[in-house]
Structure 1
Amino acid sequence: MNKRIAVIVMLLITILSGCWGAEEPERMLYIHGLGVDYKDGKYEVYAQIIDFSTTANTEQAPNNEVQAEVGHATGDTMDEAIFELYHTMDQKAFWGFLSYIIFSEEALKNANVNPVIDTLTRYRETRYQIWVYGTKEPIEDLLLITPIINKAIMLSQLGDPKNSYVQESFIKPVNLRMLIIGLNEPNHEMPIPFVSISNKWKSEEGPKDATSYSGVGVLSPNEFKGFIPAKKVRGLQWMSNETKRGEITVKIESSEEIFITVVVDKIKVKVEPIVRKEEVTFDIDVSMNAQVSDFEGNVTNDEIRKKVVKEVKKEIKDTYEEALKNDIDIYRLSEHVYRKNLKEWKKIQKDGKVELTEDSIRNLTVKINRFKSERKSYKETIKK
């Protein structure tokens, strides 16, 4: 009897020891990037499938290996388009590694991002750390771009934007979590990076496409409020405590025109709202450190400092005024009233925003706390 029980137990252990519900990794397709377009009243979905065999053990992908393929499908809803895409897949798609999503400008204008966000956030495999972008370019072309020097595609600028942001904080990356918070809280507007295709790189095989930031698009819960190009959005980096490092180039007018590039970091921004009756104005203080290494001619510390302060002020005002053309509170000034003076904010707000004009910034102060050079002298190394 005991032997029979032992045999039965052994058989049960053998049968139950396998993971019946486990998926075999080699029998799955991994979605890394997603594109959403909107044409003729229908959603157009682009899914970037990556090959993990080229990224699992190394940062460098094998030469001549295809790192990604892009599928395309159309539907009346986001879900229908995705299921149409499933019809063409050989294996099950896994969404747990989805790193970024790109919206076309038409999708942002016509389809509203809410259905897409709902689809992604309510699915158990996806995360809130998915990076969000907009574009005016063909989405399929963007999804097929591989990193410079054939680095693994998981390390691309779209999939891993924080890496390059530390070195040059021109436009802040935005993920789903940040977007949802920004749209749910005053001022109920949120800028997202716009990306384009750059042809500034070449290899021995010819031109090499790369992605580049072309500006920001601003969303509200109900509409796309507009696009601000890169040359007009530079002030945004000087109004964020999260900016790691940036550059500003100034012109020194002496006997001849001299251009000097200054590296800026340690940015601290303080915004103080002043509410009087139903009018609100703002005092803004921006402090930073600056470092100069690239210069020509004989210039002084004070000359450069004054020019940097003047140029930073100009860029902050230019971005603010450009945004006002589309009724955009680009610096989220309404939120500062909401956080610091809730009672007054309730009286003057409309749909979460306070009324802004070109004169709403009462005082703008820019201060350089520490100014240093990588050299001991501002004189040129080689005399002309």
Structure 2
Amino acid sequence: MNQTKLIFLMLITTILTGCWDANEPERMLYINGIGADYKDGQYEVYAQIISFTNIAKSDQPTTDQPQAEIGHAKGKTLDEAIHELYHSVDQSILWGNLNYVVVSEELMKNGKFSPVVDMFTRFRQTRYRIWTYVTKDPVKDVLLVKPVLNKAITLSKLSDPKNSYNQESFVEPLNFRELIIGLDEPSYEVMIPLITVEENWESMNESIKAPVLSGVGVVTPKGFKGFISGEKARGIQWMTNETKKGEVTFESDGGDYVTMTINKVNVKVEPIVEKGEVKFDIDVRLDAAVSTVEGKVTYDSLAKGIKKEVEKEIMDTYEEAIKKDIDIYHLSEQLYRKNVKAWKKYHKDGQVELTEDSIRKLTVHIEKLESDRKSIKQTIKRR
């Protein structure tokens, strides 16, 4: 090989191994959460930027430096607000670590939710598995909440909701992928987890604000329908097979209170078309375990109490929902899946008209009733 060829080969090798377009990690900012609001005809964006140097290789920060800081900007469009935010940042922002988006009640009521979804699903750096929340509280307050015990912010209830959902399945987490699929389904309404901020924890030095799942906000392709929250939302968890674990508390025949843990839910909905009306038979099967016992109880009384309470919670949620024209249990979709001919006949804008009598029969079965410690007796009896 002559000298000219050798020099040419060395030059080519240098070019091929170069990383001219690489971004240095220490010269980038990482977005973990976004809050979106709408006030006075403008979008307001809150960006939660996190420090990976503080949480890398550990579940808990190793320094006293804050894990996150919040940036704020406004714009006539969401994209303009984001670009206004760029004006005040020191480094390039990476969106690939965006974990969740929180939107305000005002943004939903003003019909501005669609631009939020469109922007983050069309942007090439973001993923479809962005967790989605709605709040009645100031959006900034939600983003400023820090995890209990100052755990890594990437493991918070907002960033990692599946972890706590497996222990208490009150409201199922929702990401952008599931949201878009839901909105594309015929007669489908999507339930977005409702987050409130409450001071229900304390450290030795101060009260601690924490994000609390308190219900759902319901959105359709046409807009926002409202909230189902608090005790009125408890029936939702008994009408989905995704429920991992829940609890019911009721008064026993002896006047004492009993808490039961529900470990498994199996729901079947059967549409019934008769005499020009559509009704639904619902069959709910549960596995339960004794949690708290006061006084004397029997297996039969426990099973009776569980069925009565679960039926009540399901119906309370359903009745609250139809007041707001919300098909909270997706009964219209059940008719579409199982009898599309009837659905085409009876639906209006994709939804079957529901009344308080549309649930013809609701039956709750206790498939398994047990105690982890093989005893349902009260440990310490009262005199």
Residue from 289, 292, 301 that aligns with 2:290: 292
The equivalent residue for 1:273 is 271
Q: Which residue of 1 aligns with 2:343?
A: 345
RMSD: 1.2
Between the two proteins, the alignment pairs up a number of residues equal to 382
| Aligned position for 2:66 | 66
TM-score, length-scaled by structure 2: 0.97
In the alignment, the residues of structure 2 paired with residue 11 and residue 309 of structure 1 have an alpha-carbon distance, to the nearest angstrom, of 78
Which residues in structure 2 correspond to 1:119-158 (within 5 Å)?
119-158=119-158
Pair 1:354-2:346 in alignment: no
- The match for 1:378 is 376
The answer to whether the 8 Å contact 1:213/1:230 transfers is no
In structure 2, C-alpha distance between the alignment counterparts of 1:57 and 1:6, rounded to whole Å? 45
Answer whether contact 1:293 1:375 (CA < 8 A) is retained.
no
Residue 315 of structure 2 corresponds to residue 317 of structure 1: yes
Q: Is the 8 A contact 1:134 1:194 kept in 2?
A: yes
Q: 1:56 to 1:63 in 2, by over 3 A?
A: closer
Q: Residue 182 of structure 1 corresponds to which residue in structure 2?
A: 182
Q: How far off is 1:253 after superposition?
A: 3.5
1: CA distance between counterparts of 2:276 and 2:86?
55
Please state if 1:336 is matched with 2:350: no
Distance (whole Å) between structure 1 residues aligned to residue 15 and residue 127 of structure 2? 35
SS at match of 1:143: helix
Partner Cα separation in structure 1 for residue 335 and residue 124 of structure 2 = 37
Which one-letter code corresponds to 2:318 in the other structure?
A: Y
- The one-letter code matched in structure 2 to 1:70 is I
Check whether the contact 2:256–2:294 (CA below 8 A) recurs between aligned residues.
yes
In the alignment, residue 123 of structure 1 is paired with which amino acid? F
In structure 2, C-alpha distance between the alignment counterparts of 1:293 and 1:102, rounded to whole Å: 35
Distance 2:61 2:128 in 1: 27
Distance 1:277 1:298, change over 3 A: closer
Q: Which amino acid aligns with 1:115?
A: P
Which contiguous aligned blocks of 4+ residues in structure 1 show a shift greater than 4 angstroms? Answer: none
- Gap regions ≥5 residues in structure 1: none
Aligned to 2:163: 163
Task: State how far apart, in whole Å, the 2-side matches of 1:366 and 1:355 are.
Answer: 24
Deviations 1:249-268 (A, max 9, x none): 011132xx311110002110
Find the residue that maps to 1:90 and give its secondary structure: coil
Instruction: Indicate the residue corresponding to 2:209 in structure 1.
Output: 209
Could you tell me whether the CA contact under 8 Å between 1:259 and 1:295 is conserved in 2? yes
Letter in 2 for 1:235: G
2:213, 2:252 → 1: CA distance?
28
Distance in 2 (CA, whole Å) between partners of 1:375 and 1:62 is 40
Tell me if the contact between 1:284 and 1:361 (Cα under 8 Å) persists in the aligned partners: yes
Instruction: Output the TM-score relative to the length of structure 1.
Output: 0.97
| Greater Cα offset, 276-285 or 347-356 | 276-285
Q: In the alignment, is the contact (CA less than 8 A) between 1:157 and 1:211 conserved in 2?
A: yes
1:57, distance to aligned residue in structure 2 (A): 0.7
Look up the match of 1:283. Answer: 281
**Percent identity between the aligned chains?**
57
Identify the residue that residue 366 of structure 2 maps to in structure 1.
368
Shift of residue 308 of structure 1? 0.7
Per-residue deviation, 1:16:
3.0
Matched to 2:349, the amino acid is: D
Q: How far apart are the structure 1 equivalents of 2:172 and 2:374?
A: 34
Deviation at 1:9, TM superposition (A): 1.3
CA contact 1:112–1:222 (8 Å) conserved in 2:
no
CA–CA distance in structure 1, aligned partners of residues 379 and 34 of structure 2: 51
1:216–1:230 contact (8 Å) kept in structure 2 = no
371-380 or 41-50, which deviates more = 371-380
**Structure 2 alignment gaps of length 5 or more:** none
Letter in 1 for 2:185: E
Q: Secondary structure at the match of 2:80?
A: helix
